[in-house]
Every structure is written in C-alpha cells, then in structure tokens.
Amino acid sequence: MTLNTAGLHHVTAIAGDPQANIDFYIKGLGLRLVKKTVNFDNPSTYHLYYGDDAGRPGTLMTFFPWGGVPTGRIGAGQSTSTAFSVPEGSLGWWRNHFKALGVDSVIDRLSSDEERLSLRDPDGLQLDLIASSTIDPRNPWDSASVPADYAVRGQHSSVLTVNDPFRTVDVLINDLGLRVVGEMGNRTRLTAGAEGAGNIIDVIADPMAQQGLTAGGTVHHIAFRVADAFTQDRWRQELVERGFQVTAILDRQYFTSIYFREPGGVLYEIATDTPGFDIDEPLLELGRSLKMPPWLEPSRDAIEHSIAHIELPAENNPTLAGK
C-alpha cells in the first residue's frame, strides 16, 4: 500500500491560562474558535480548537490549556515553529497589530518568495506568519479584529527540528508520501499532496540542539490528513507492519486518530477529514457552548462545575463580525 497524506490536518500545543489563549488566538491571530470541548483524557480541562469558519483540515490549531502548567523547552525532537499563511504585503499590518496588543515581532526574509513575521504567543509558543508570492486561495475567517485582506488563510507549514534529519526525512517521504522540494542551508522543505501552504514540512537539521521538553508553550504533536476511517485503518495496519508503534484508532469526535513517534522524536498523528466540526453544533454557532462526546455527557454537571470559566470574545460570532 502506498501511504500518502494530503497535508497538515492540525497542530496541537500546550498552553497555560485558557482565557489568555482564547484572547490571543481570536483577537490577536484572528482565528475562529470552532470547538470548545474538554480534553478527553483529562475532562476537567479544555481542548480548544481554532481554525477557519468551519474548522477545515489544514487550518486547525488546537490547545490543551492547563492553568499553571510549567513552561516547557522548545528543542530537538519537536515541531519548533508553527507557521500560518497570510497574504503577500500584509506583514507590516500584522506587526502594527501585534504591537498594539503589546506583542513583539520580527520580520525577515525566508527565501526569495517568502517573508516571515516571527512572534511568540502568551505561553512562549513560536509562531510565524508567512507571506508568500504564491497566492493562497483559501478563504479566511472574516473577523472584526483582523480584516479579511490580512487574515490568516490557514496553516502554512510546521518546522521540525531534529539532531539527525536522515530518518526523519525518510519517514516523511516513504511512510507519509511527502517529497523534497527544496534545501535552504540546514532546512529541507517537503510538501504533501498539492504543493502549497498547508502541505509543507520544513525539517531543520541541528546536531547540537538540546532535546525539547514538552510542557507549556510547546507543540505536543502535529497531525497529517487522511480522507476517512477506512483508509486510516489500512494505513495503520501498514505502519504496524513496517515496525512503527502505532496507537489504536481513537475517537476524537470530530475525526478519528492514530499516533506514532517518528525517529527524530516528533509525535505524529494521522487524523481523518471526516466527520468535521458541525457534527454536534451548527456552523454559525461553532465554539459557543461546551461540547462533550457522548461518553462524557453523563458527567457533564461535574465537569462544568470543575472546569475554569472562560469568556468567548464577540469576534467569534459571525453575526457580530464587524463590517
């Protein structure tokens, strides 16, 4: 069986205070909270999903916020930067926007056709906004905080830092179906499916980099797309036959997932495109109420009692998105 992903499905990171996380990703980055649910493995804490209007694969950034979580260390064996795609010429606007919010950022040129604005989220997570001369055709979430002319189109790429790139790149090519499209110094760029934003992995070879420590302000895992549960099951069997330690298929309510660790230490997930985020609330109301999978509903009262209260900014509601 040939294993091929269409690209990135989501990136999941660890945060501290959930309200600071919500305020930054909705008002700062201009994403939409498309699901407010609980961490299925620790239901007294949240799992927050941000993305475009519908939470399409390739636009999703998700967080496990734990108030008071220790700060981790960004380093080898991790996804060390998460990059979002923004329109060409928009980085000056973004720098002023973040400055007004008290967030420092730096603009540099990544390549002849890509400019990058680098910043940290409230927990120290490394983020980049990439403005490419290649047009990203995806429609942005039209938010009152970030006008559509500048808004994030979705993921651009994930940057993986590893001590030895050889086996990491080998797995990306032979077990996930990506292909190498460029080399820039110690950075190898690979792409999945149709080349373009949302399908890109940059592998940085840094033999001296200290191992990362997964905690607050670090990426927990990155997820690649698979079309449906049937293909996922076949893919899982194939990965097991190839010697990977792969988890059972887990029901994440909005998709199903398998996980395995690649040789460089980065945790990978393969997540289905279906059923999606409108399975338990209408598109217009995404993110508004606390959602739980059926197996946690009997404990809803106890969970709602123990979980931190958060306020959802008006920007998340399409009828209030300002024009």
Please tell me the distance from the alpha carbon of residue 62 to that of residue 215, in angstroms, as a whole number: 14
Tell the smallest beta-carbon distance from residue 69 to Zn ion (Å): 18
Q: Which residues of 45-66 are buried (b: 16+ CB within 10 A; e: fewer)?
A: bbbbbbbbbebbbbbbbbbbbb
Please identify, using beta-carbon distances, which residue of 12 and 191 lies nearer to Zn ion: 12
Asked if 223 is part of the footprint of Zn ion (rule: CB under 5 A), the reply reads: yes
Asked if 145 is part of the footprint of Zn ion (rule: CB under 5 A), the reply reads: no
Tell the smallest beta-carbon distance from residue 221 to Zn ion (Å): 6
- The answer to whether the bond into 293 is cis (omega within 30° of 0) is no
**Touching Zn ion, residues 171-200 (CB under 5 A):** none
Asked if 151 is part of the footprint of Zn ion (rule: CB under 5 A), the reply reads: no
Q: Which stretch binds Zn ion (CB under 5 A): 6-14, 86-94, 103-111, 236-244?
A: 6-14
Q: Which residues of 127-139 are buried (b: 16+ CB within 10 A; e: fewer)?
A: bbbbbbeeebebe
Question: Which residue's Cβ lies closest to Zn ion?
Answer: 12
Please report, as a single letter, which amino acid is at residue 205. A
Please identify, using beta-carbon distances, which residue of 219 and 223 lies nearer to Zn ion: 223
162 near 15, Cβ under 8 Å?
no
Please tell me the distance from the alpha carbon of residue 294 to that of residue 14, in angstroms, as a whole number: 25
Tell the smallest beta-carbon distance from residue 49 to Zn ion (Å): 9
Q: Which stretch binds Zn ion (CB under 5 A): 47-55, 154-162, 223-231, 235-243?
A: 223-231
Q: Which stretch binds Zn ion (CB under 5 A): 23-31, 106-114, 203-211, 222-230?
A: 222-230
Please identify, using beta-carbon distances, which residue of 12 and 132 lies nearer to Zn ion: 12
Asked if 12 is part of the footprint of Zn ion (rule: CB under 5 A), the reply reads: yes
Asked if 315 is part of the footprint of Zn ion (rule: CB under 5 A), the reply reads: no
Tell the smallest beta-carbon distance from residue 182 to Zn ion (Å): 27
Of 269, 270, 286, 292, the one binding Zn ion by CB under 5 A: 269
Please identify, using beta-carbon distances, which residue of 146 and 222 lies nearer to Zn ion: 222
- Kindly write down the DSSP assignment for every residue of 162-212, as one continuous string: ES-HHHHHHHHHHTT--EEEEEETTEEEEE-SSSSTTSEEEEEE-TTPPBP
289 near 280, Cβ under 8 Å?
no
Q: Please report, as ranges, the residues that interact with Zn ion according to CB under 5 A.
A: 12, 223, 269
